[in-house]
């Protein structure tokens, strides 16, 4: 299976979905190396666009993402990773999912989820995730 | 709510999730104009990277995506659109979801879903979707 990394400038979006609940937890990007590491280790490794390097999800928090199923779309330019999410949440702001804000009709954002952990206790002063 | 289009070169990924089943149906990209059109019309409008223009999902097939909830992630650089999907499927290859292929441990792809419609009857010879 050839993944089309070219269309996205060397990266493909990778949707992370909780295998049990179906909730979408986050979206990251993968380059060929991070995809290979994800497949080799069975845990999700992204490519961080802001830090320009591989980023193993959970390396700071312990909140690893264990791959249960890896899917690719019809154009081979997007990935869907169904995971077991270790720990109380994937979001560095202390939520189970990074998608905790709804955009309302007037354009404002509204938080629709409850926090599940205290990020300062998990991450300390680090900004990696 | 300010969406960060800059990090992705003017585009943000938009995950389309079936509101009822929780299934991830597809991933597209939006620029500011397509997001505004999506919000204005209540139906999903993408920006097509290959055709370099706005693309109303369903314009050829009638398989529109009605927005039920619009979510944004913690970094404001990815969207999750929970939808009512009109019709038997969103994929131009005749499946309910574009994510119908699993990547196996040996790297091969395996189709894990059944087709839900005959694409040649829906799209004719057109390649738009």
Give the residue-averaged pLDDT of B26-33. Answer: 98
What pLDDT shows up at residue B117? 96
Q: Which residues pair with A41 in a beta bridge?
A: none
What pLDDT shows up at residue A1? 77
CA distance A11 to A35: 10
Q: Chain A residues with CB inside 8 Å of B91's CB?
A: 74
> Residues of chain A whose pLDDT is less than 70?
125-129
pLDDT at B123 over 80: yes
The answer to whether A91 contacts chain B (CB < 8 Å) is yes
CB B50 within 8 Å of CB A50: no
Judge: B69–A102 Cβ closer than 8 Å, yes or no: yes
Average model confidence (pLDDT) for chain B?
95
Tokens found for residue A14: 């990778």
Rounded to the nearest angstrom, the minimum Cα separation between A91 and chain B is: 8
pLDDT at B50 over 80: yes
What pLDDT shows up at residue A91? 97
CA distance A104 to A93: 21
Judge: B15–A24 Cβ closer than 8 Å, yes or no: yes
Tokens found for residue A67: 């791959």
What pLDDT shows up at residue B1? 77
What are A44-53's pLDDT values in tens digits?
Answer: 999 999 999 9
Q: Which residues pair with A54 in a beta bridge?
A: A47
What pLDDT shows up at residue B111? 98
The answer to whether A101 contacts chain B (CB < 8 Å) is yes
CB B14 within 8 Å of CB B29: yes
Q: Which of residues 32-61 of B touch A (CB under 8 A)?
A: 39, 49-50
From the list B23, B27, B71, the residue facing A101 with the nearest CB is B71
Rounded to the nearest angstrom, the minimum Cα separation between A92 and chain B is: 8
What pLDDT shows up at residue A27? 98
- The fraction of chain B above a pLDDT of 70, given in percent, is 96
Q: List Cβ neighbours of B122 (8 Å cut-off, separation of 6 or more).
A: B60, B61, B62, B63, B94
DSSP SS3 for A30: strand
pLDDT at B126 over 60: no
Q: Which residue of B has its CA nearest to A71?
A: B102
DSSP SS3 for B50: coil
CA distance B15 to B79: 6
- Phi and psi dihedrals of B27, rounded to 5? -130, 130
B79-91: burial string, b at 16+ Cβ within 10 Å, e else: bbbbbebeebbbb
Judge: B101–A71 Cβ closer than 8 Å, yes or no: yes
């Amino acid at each position: 299976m050839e993944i089309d990394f070219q269309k996205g400038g060397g990266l493909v979006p990778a949707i992370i979905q909780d295998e049990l609940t179906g909730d979408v937890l986050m979206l990251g990007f993968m380059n060929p190396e991070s995809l290979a590491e994800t497949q080799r280790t069975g845990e999700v490794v992204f490519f961080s666009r802001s830090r320009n390097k591989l980023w193993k999800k959970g390396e700071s928090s312990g909140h690893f993402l264990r791959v249960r199923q890896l899917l690719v779309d019809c154009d081979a330019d997007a990935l869907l990773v169904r995971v077991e999410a270790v720990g109380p949440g994937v979001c560095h702001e202390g939520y189970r999912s990074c998608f905790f804000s709804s955009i309302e009709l007037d354009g404002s954002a509204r938080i629709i989820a409850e926090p599940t952990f205290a990020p300062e206790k998990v991450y300390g002063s680090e900004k990696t995730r």
